[in-house]
Structure 1
């Protein structure tokens, strides 16, 4: 059962549609005392889903694909952030070595990016 909290009212989505989002695994609210608790992240994700379906005409498979790609992107962004944090505490010589390796890899790539130049 969906708890009637402020975030659900901001969604302008009825309970049945919100329940469909939950059932499809598109949003994953936490459960407290037997009630689903919708947080701001769930609200933003549900708003995106509404835009994808209502404004862009995506079907359920299309929404699955878009959300999967977004989840991958955020996962990679998080992993990259951890990598940057780890590199930041390395001695200067290690950072230079890694940068040189990255430049060498960049020249081997079929798509030459200006990322490491």
Structure 2
């Protein structure tokens, strides 16, 4: 759902937008995985690992869906925003949407 390699956009082209979106995505997914592990700590390895993987996948899918919805609701293209070097407010909004979606998944796990 992103244009090109995000690592290159961040490291080579120094895109602040890509850095914000990727950072928020990592933080959000980290929260989802942490919560899945924490809440399944008493279960054996198989079920706990299964719930952790399922929760992580759900988080990824819902984050992508949130990005697609934002792209439909905004006048610009979010994908093109990620290759811009200067920070754009929409990059912060997309990052916040990823965190918000992750928190919803966390609440559903808890």
TM-score range, shorter chain: 0.3 to 0.5
* TM-score (norm. length: structure 1): 0.32
* TM-score (norm. length: structure 2): 0.34
| Bigger fraction of residues in helix | 2
| Bigger fraction of residues in strand | 1
Relative contact order: is structure 1 or structure 2 higher (C-alpha 8 Å, sep ≥ 6)?
A: 2
